[in-house]
Amino acid sequence: MPIRYALHLKILSLEERHGIFHFGHHLERVADLDDILIVDVGQRDGRLMAWAAWNSQIAGANRDFKFTGDPLPDEAPEPGRWTALVPLPATAEPILGSNARIKLTVTPRQ
């Protein structure tokens, strides 16, 4: 049975002028991007793996959401370690560009 994790990603932009943050052009506590990456970590055939989806892309309550299909591809296969790059949601592209990723690394508990 997989273990579920949540990674909260919140990006706020501030303008810097001469080494000092300028707070005149933003809304206090309002993020430019605010989403949660839901990650299930499990094993298949004795190998670690994970599935991930952004909360904004999940219909309904995330407690009811079940991942189906293949896990994320392992970007650097090595024994006892699993690594994947997760693209950010489309709403992040105007802020961080189209190549922004979250790097997930899974290892056994020590």
**pLDDT by residue (tens digit) across 49-63?**
999 999 999 999 988
> 63 is written with which tokens?
């407690």
Nearest to 37 by CA among 101, 107, 109: 101
Those residues whose C-beta lies under 8 Å from the C-beta of residue 65, and which sit 6 or more positions away, are 38, 53, 58
Show me where the domains of the chain are located.
Answer: 3-106
Instruction: Please write the tens of the pLDDT for every residue from 35-50.
Output: 999 999 998 888 889 9
Sign of CA dihedral 68, 69, 73, 74: positive
Question: Does the pLDDT of residue 29 top 90, yes or no?
Answer: no
The beta-strand segments (E) located in 24-106 are 33-44, 47-54, 82-87, 101-106
Instruction: Please write the tens of the pLDDT for every residue from 69-88.
Output: 999 999 988 888 899 999 99
Tell me what pLDDT residue 3 has: 93
